[in-house]
Structure formats: C-alpha cells, structure tokens
Structure 1
Amino acid sequence: MSKINAIVREVTALTERISEFRIAAADGAALPGWDAGAHVLFDLPDGDTRAYSLIAFAPMDKAPEEYRIAVQREPEGKGGSTHMHGLKPGAEITCAAPKNDFPLTPNAPAVLLAGGIGITPMISMATTLKDAGQAFEFHYSGRSAGVMAYREALQETFGDSLHLHCDDAASALDLDAVIAGLAAESHLYVCGPKGLIDATKAKAEAAGIAADRIHFELFDAPQEQEGDSAFEVELASSGEVFTIPPGQSIIDVLEAGGVDVMYDCQRGDCGICQCDVISGTPDHRDVVLSEAERAAGNVMQICVSRAKSPRLVLDI
C-alpha cells in the first residue's frame, strides 16, 4: 500500500482533551477522495498505526486539499493519541489513503448515534444525508456539554435533526426511546465506546431489529483489563501451541510466530479475523457477535477476545 507523505497544517484545541488536526500532502498535491464514514491510518514512530475518522461539515471534494480529523488524548492508551497531540503545525507524518469500513446505506433513512469522540465519522454521515435530502436523526451523547467537541458547529449545521444528550443533565440519552423510535426502514449507525455499542446492539436485538440495519464502529481498540492472565492457543491444523500473555492479542502472538492470519480493524468491529473455536471458552470482547453467538462460544474475534479457559483450540 503506497503511503502519503503529509504535513500538519493546523492544530486547534476543541476541548481539554480533544484537538482537531488539518493535514495536507507535503507536496501540495490533492489528496485521495473519500466517502462518509471513512478513516485514515496514520503511522506512529514505533511502527504501529492509528485510525482516525475523517470529518466534513460540507459535501466532500473528490480531490480534497486536506484531511480533517479530531483526536482525543487517552492517557491510559497505548500512546497513539499522545503522539498525535504532540504534533505541531509543520510536523511531517505519513498515512494511508482513506478506507471505509463504516459506509452509509444508500437511499435509506438513518438514525445516527454517537458517544464521545465517536462523533467524528457521524459528522460526514450527517453532511451526506443532509446534502442528499435524506431523512435522518442525529443523537450525540457525552458526559457533559464541556467535553463534547463541535457542539456549537453541529447545532448550527444540522439544526432540529441534532439531539444533544448530556449524562449530567435532564437531556441524558434514553437509548430505549431511540430504539423504539426507529422506523421500519431506517438504518441505525452507532459509534462510540464499547459499552454504548454493546447496549445498543442488545436492545436492538431484543426489539427484533434486523442485524443488517445496525451498523457500528468502535473509536478505539479495547484496552487490557485488570486481571488478564496468560492462556494458550492451539492451532488445529498443525498442533502448534502459542502462549498469549496479557497485553498482547492472539493475532500479535500468531504473527510473531510466523502464522498468516486475516484481519483488518484490530478493534473487534469488522469481523474479518473471526475463527471457529473447536474447544475452550472464549472471553468475548468484540462488538460483532450477537448474544446468542457469544453464549454458544463456537466462534470468536481473535484481534481482541481472550480466553476464560487455560487453552483454546482454534480452527486455524
């Protein structure tokens, strides 16, 4: 995959923890175009990457001059947001062309539900829906008004379609009401913390909403949990056994051991790394599987999920 040599044009603090970055090609050329819901992978100094959703308050250009992203500083994260927040105007950075794992369904009414920094991909979605004259509702939830990025700009741009929900006010999100108000033909798009996605999926599933009408994207990979311990993974095809320590995923260890595995998001929301579980009990940490699939324990997402049993035997 060819890389884009880019430069930071502008950095703007939006809240105490969230900053906006405007990024252009270092040579001044136009950047690859993108559609609502797309993200860009930015390279970090340690060789890792971080995905940030692209933002547009106006219809997207086919050959934009710059990309606009917002990054929330996560002191307990793995360092990606800290690196990004250290960038100043003029800083050089490399990235990949935009990729979209969270596209809008064409010609269908939509309900957009964003939690926290999950607002970023929803802005371009709302912009596209508004430009197309398509019916939509836009819900944005946060702990308090002061930590919610773009609040005033969103109100000015989307007017009565936007509903702001603050946990510390009477306007707190009523998830049951959002699900109950979903029209038969509407699609639901959710982006935010894993807890919000899990709760939304469970309530939508209980309400009988078809899975193909529910779309979701995590804004970050699940973090290591207190009490995580090592476990073993046995590959059914070869009998090889790998030990998965705390802080590393099954994919991390298998790749280091020379095993070729398919994956994409590494956040537990795309389903590409899913594999069959022959024996053992998975500790599911994805947002892909239904409650019934989790209970059955026959499949798992190996990018984020771990084990409750000492060993998993996987169909790899």
Structure 2
Amino acid sequence: MSKINAIVRRVTALTDRISEFEIAAADGSPLPHWGAGAHVLFDLPDGDSRAYSLITFDPIPEAPESYRIAVQREPEGKGGSTHMHGLKPGAEIICAAPKNDFPLSPYAPAVLLAGGIGITPMISMAATLKAAGQDFAFHYTGRSAPVMAYRDALRESFGDALHLHCDDDATALDLGAVIDSLGPQAHLYVCGPKGLIDATKAKAEAAGVAAERIHFELFDAPQEQEGDSAFEVEVASSGEVFTIPPGQSIIDVLEAGGVDVMYDCQRGDCGICQCDVLSGTPDHRDVVLSEAERAAGNVMQICVSRAKSPRLVLDI
C-alpha cells in the first residue's frame, strides 16, 4: 500500500475529548480521491497504525488539498488516540491512501445512524446524499449534548434531516422507531460502538429488513473481557494445535505460528476472516453474523471471537 508523507495543518478542539485534524501532503500536492465512508490508516511510532474516517460537509473533490479527521481521546486505549492528540500544527505523519470498507449507495434512500465518534463517516455520507438529491434521515445519538461533536455544523448543513438524540433527556434514541422508518427500500447505515450495532442489527433482522440493506462499521477496538481464558485451535488442514492465551486473537497466534490467514479490519465487522468451525463452540464477538448464524455455530470471525469450548477445530 502506497504511503503519503503528510503534515498536520490545523488542530481544532471539538469537545473535551474530540479534536479535528486537517492533514495535507507534505509537498503540497493533491491527495488521492476518496468516497463517502472511507478511512485513512495513520502510522504510529510503535509500528502500529490506526484508521480514522474522512470527513467533509461538502461534495468530495476529485483532487482534495487536505483530509479532515476527528479523533476521540481514549485514555484506556492502546495509545493511538493519545499520540494523535499530541500532534501540533506542523507535525509530520505518514498515512496510507484512503480505503473504503463502508461504501454508500447514493442511488437508494438512506437512514444514517451514528453513535458517539461513529459520527465521522456519516457526515460525508449525508453530504453525498444531499448533493445527489437523495432522500435520507440522519440520526446521531450520544450520552449528552456536550460530548457530541459537530452539533451546530450538522444542523446548519442538514436541517430537518438531522435528528439529535441525547441519552440524558427526552430526545433519547428510539431504535424501534428508526427501524420502522426504513420502509421497503431505504438502506440502513450504522456506525458506532458494538452495543449499538448489535441492537440495531437484531431489531432490523426481527423486522424483516434484508441483510443487503443493512451496512455497518464498528468503532470499538476489540477488548479483552474479564474471565477470558486460554483455549486451543486445531488447524484442520495440518493437524497443528495452537494455544490462544487471553489478550491475543486467533489471528495473532496463527500468524506467529506461520499459518497464512486472510483478514482485514481486526474489529469483527468486515467478515473477511470468517472460518468454518468443524468442532467446538465459538464465543462470538463480531457484528457480522446474524443471530441464526451465531446460534448454529458453524462459522466464526477469528479476528475477535474466542471459544466457549476447550478446543476449536477450524477449516483452515
């Protein structure tokens, strides 16, 4: 993947925890074009990287002069947001060209649902739908108004299409009403924490919304859960057995052991790492599978899910 030597042009505080960064190419050249819902991977000093969604309130230019991202500081995270919040105007940073795992179809009406910092990819989606003259409703939910970024700019740009929901007042999100508003044609786009995505998917599935009309992107990094214990994974093609300790994913251990596996997001929302389960009981922690698929236990996402049984045999 090609890398871009970039520079921070501007940093703007949006809330106590969220700051916006304007990023441009260090040599002043135009940046690669992107589509609504796209993200950019930024390199971190420890060799890791973090993905942040691109933001625009206007139609996306063919040759953008800069990118806008917003980063929420996560004190309990792995340090990516802390590093980003330490950047000042003039700081150099390396990023990749935009990638889109959460594309928008502007040819169908849409309902956009954002939770917390999941607002970021939804802004470009709403701007694209508005420019296309497409019908859409835009729901943005958060704990309280002061922690919700871009409130005034969203009202100014999207007017009556925007619906703000605060958990601490009478505007709290009515998820059932959002699902009921879809009708027979609208597509549903959801971005935010895992709890919101799980609840939305469950209600949409129960309401008979076709899977191809439900799109989502998870903004939670996978977290170790209290009580996680080690389990074994047997690779069916070779018979090799690997022990997966707490704090490491199946992918982490298999790759370290020389097993070639396919994956992308490592958050449990893209489905690329899905494997057939030949034996054992998965502990599903993704947002990809339907409730029926989870209950069947025949497949799993090995980037985030673990095991309820002492061993899993996977068709790898």
TM-score by length of 2: 0.99
Tell me if 1:237 matches 2:237: yes
Output the CA distance in 1 between the equivalents of 2:243 and 2:16: 40
Q: What is the deviation of 1:160?
A: 0.3
Output the CA distance in 2 between the equivalents of 1:224 and 1:94: 29
The residue aligned with 1:151 is: 151
The residue aligned with 1:220 is: 220
Whether the 8 Å contact between 1:77 and 1:223 is mirrored in structure 2 is no
Whether the 8 Å contact between 1:221 and 1:268 is mirrored in structure 2 is no
Whether the 8 Å contact between 1:116 and 1:192 is mirrored in structure 2 is yes
Query: What's the secondary structure of 1:139's corresponding residue?
Result: strand
Query: What's the secondary structure of 1:259's corresponding residue?
Result: coil
Q: What is the deviation of 1:138?
A: 0.2
Output the CA distance in 2 between the equivalents of 1:5 and 1:247: 33
Alignment of 1:1-316 (within 5 A): 1-316=1-316
Q: What is the deviation of 1:302?
A: 0.5
Q: What is the deviation of 1:161?
A: 0.3
Q: Letter of the aligned partner of 1:21 in structure 2? A: F
Residue by residue over 1:186-242, the C-alpha shift from the partner in whole angstroms, topping out at 9 and shown as x without a partner, is 000000000000000000000000000000000132211111111111100111111
Output the CA distance in 2 between the equivalents of 1:238 and 1:303: 20
Whether the 8 Å contact between 1:6 and 1:92 is mirrored in structure 2 is yes
Output the CA distance in 2 between the equivalents of 1:13 and 1:170: 27
Q: What is the deviation of 1:59?
A: 0.6
Q: Letter of the aligned partner of 2:93 in structure 1? A: I
Runs of 4+ aligned structure 1 residues displaced above 6 Å come to none
Q: Letter of the aligned partner of 2:65 in structure 1? A: E
Q: Letter of the aligned partner of 2:182 in structure 1? A: L
Q: Letter of the aligned partner of 2:8 in structure 1? A: V
Deviates more, 1:199-208 or 1:217-226: 217-226
Output the CA distance in 2 between the equivalents of 1:276 and 1:6: 41
Output the CA distance in 2 between the equivalents of 1:298 and 1:108: 33
Whether the 8 Å contact between 1:38 and 1:121 is mirrored in structure 2 is yes
Identity %: 87
Output the CA distance in 1 between the equivalents of 2:251 and 2:215: 24
What is the total number of aligned residue pairs between the two structures?
A: 316
Whether the 8 Å contact between 2:114 and 2:192 is mirrored in structure 1 is yes
Query: What's the secondary structure of 1:126's corresponding residue?
Result: helix
Whether the 8 Å contact between 2:6 and 2:94 is mirrored in structure 1 is yes
Whether the 8 Å contact between 2:106 and 2:129 is mirrored in structure 1 is no
Whether the 8 Å contact between 2:112 and 2:136 is mirrored in structure 1 is yes
Q: Letter of the aligned partner of 2:150 in structure 1? A: Y
TM-score by length of 1: 0.99
Q: Letter of the aligned partner of 2:92 in structure 1? A: E
Output the CA distance in 2 between the equivalents of 1:245 and 1:87: 35
Residue by residue over 1:131-188, the C-alpha shift from the partner in whole angstroms, topping out at 9 and shown as x without a partner, is 0100000000000000000001000110000000000000000000111111211000
Whether the 8 Å contact between 2:110 and 2:186 is mirrored in structure 1 is yes
Q: What is the deviation of 1:272?
A: 0.3
Whether the 8 Å contact between 2:55 and 2:121 is mirrored in structure 1 is yes
Whether the 8 Å contact between 1:194 and 1:222 is mirrored in structure 2 is no
CA RMSD of aligned residues (A): 0.7
Q: Letter of the aligned partner of 1:184 in structure 2? A: P
Q: What is the deviation of 1:114?
A: 0.2
Residue by residue over 1:92-139, the C-alpha shift from the partner in whole angstroms, topping out at 9 and shown as x without a partner, is 111110011111123100000000000000000000000010000000
